[in-house]
Amino acid sequence: MHDLVIKNGRLIDYAGDTDRFADVAVEGGQITAIEDSITGSTRSVIDADGCYVLPGLVDLHVHLDTGFGGDAGHAMLARAGVTTALDLGTPSAADVFELADQYGTGLTIACVVRLVPGLQLSASPSRGEIRAAFEKVLADGALGVKIHVDSGWAVESAAAIAETAHELGVWLAVHCGTSSAGSNIEGLRQTIEYLDGRPAQIAHVNSYCRGDLGAPEDEAREAIEILRGSPQVFAESYLAEINGNFAGCEDGLPKVPRVAEWLAQGGYPGTQDGLRAAILDGWASIPFRDGDHTVPLSGPAGVRAWEEAGTHIGLCLPLNPAASRVPLVGSKNDKGAFDVAAIATDGGGIPRNVTVQSGLSLVELGALSLKEFVQKSSWTPARALGLQTKGTIAVGADADVAVVDRASKSVVSTVAAGEVVFHRGTVIPRRPRLLTTARATAGPLADAMRINPAASGLYTGAGR
């Protein structure tokens, strides 16, 4: 008796170099058979006729905390074919895990904590203070920390945080930029400099190549050269045109200075009235909760949602040009390895979980092969986390699967650890599977899976 059989699909797997029509059987959360035709008794069947059967996506950059719609994010990820996700930069690991427990869809969830001056650390922290902050976030269950440009760290403090992460052998992620460089190609240069050969996840490389300091295609070329000279870093990029930020205004001006700058780039005044005009015209949009997911609203409906929230709501702007997004996803070095190792989304609760649809469009255009798409969206990020039984469809692997309609490039079904968590429009609530380290002592993490970041692909380079 099989728990589940996925029948009649076209199975694509990078690790097994597989592209074939086959049935996949699942028992006890694992893949137990892959055959041309599987017959016999089964509790559940997914008919994948006309579909790809892919390893579930492993997304190393999502947002699942309260500030970024984490309550809806789990359903949104399940709809997008994601089965493992890393929240990249919550202020509180407890917040992520509590929302996962309440709104989970059976996904494997981990997080890193964004270090903020005045929250976990002073503005110019000592080494002892940094180490104490690390011990706290690790005890709470995070895999490590994130350095973020909006926190305003000086280069010296960012370097000290990176050095401490390396000494402790924990996860380090960086949103490039400091108090002296922006979230742009200069910030990427500076980050590589202060990392000084230490491993780190470089978040959304595409966002440093928006044309702030030069043509987007030129910035993408420079980013690629920088990454080729820094093989220790693990870079990811996303495929959505829109970014994610905050639409809050005060005294007639956006609360986030960068929003005013972006409005000016779009031809609008950098004011509250300018933002209203941008939403009304459809250039800007407001992520609005609709059932178990969020959708970007613009026009009169978007303005209404923004004003009814007192402007304190998310914001999406079309800031990521194709001229840099596309070259970054497909670029390879002279050894045939991808310069940007993985596709992520910076999504979750932010409505840009478009890896499947946009990635398969790039496959159609010849920028990636089907197996390379699986490599970048699933296999490589699983290796980065050190999860050897994820990112592949093979006997003995975790039954994490995305069934994708080949014609529409839309996810039909998502299976996480052998459980159907999304099927033909319906998300099925399930208990999450939490991922942490041996340093975690928080009570809710007693049953969590534990990994050693120092032995993961982030440090060893496995999968790249």
CA distance 304 to 286: 10
Q: Where are the alpha helices (DSSP H) in 266-369?
A: 272-281, 299-308, 322-330, 355-365
Instruction: Please state at what angle helix 216-228 crosses helix 322-330, rounded to 10 degrees.
Output: 30
DSSP-derived secondary structure letter, 91? S
C-alpha distances out from residue 434 to 80, 89, 126, 145, Å: 19, 16, 32, 17
d(CA 246, CA 258): 10
* Cα 460 from Cα 463, distance rounded (Å): 9
Identify each DSSP E strand in 224-337 by its residue range.
234-237, 245-246, 249-250, 253-254, 286-290, 293-297, 314-315
Closest CA to 91 of 69, 111, 72: 111
- C-alpha dihedral over 133, 138, 141, 147, to 10 degrees? 60
Q: Residues near 260 by Cβ (< 8 Å), separated by ≥ 6?
A: 253, 254, 270, 271, 274
- Please give the backbone phi and psi of residue 373, each rounded to the nearest 5 degrees, phi first: -60, -45
pTM: 0.97
**Could you give the 3-state DSSP secondary structure of residue 13?**
strand
How far does Cα 317 stand from its chain's mean position?
A: 18
First vs last C-alpha separation in the chain: 38
pLDDT in tens, the chain (464 residues): 899 999 999 999 999 999 999 999 999 999 999 999 999 999 999 999 999 999 999 999 999 999 889 999 999 999 999 999 999 999 999 999 999 999 999 999 999 999 999 999 999 999 999 999 999 999 999 999 999 999 999 999 999 999 999 999 999 999 999 999 999 999 999 999 999 999 999 999 999 999 999 999 999 999 999 999 999 999 999 999 999 999 999 999 999 999 999 999 999 999 999 999 999 999 999 999 999 999 999 999 999 999 999 999 999 999 999 999 999 999 999 999 999 999 999 999 999 999 999 999 999 999 999 999 999 999 999 999 999 999 999 999 999 999 999 999 999 999 999 999 999 999 999 999 999 999 999 988 999 999 999 999 999 999 89
Do 286 and 305 meet the contact criterion of CB atoms below 8 Å apart? Answer: yes
Residues 228 and 331: beta-carbon distance below 8 Å? no
Alpha carbons 236 and 340: distance in angstroms, whole number: 5
pLDDT for position 370: 98
Handedness of CA 158, 160, 162, 164 (dihedral sign): negative
Domains of the chain: 55-241+320-391+433-460 (3.20.20.140), 246-315 (no CATH)
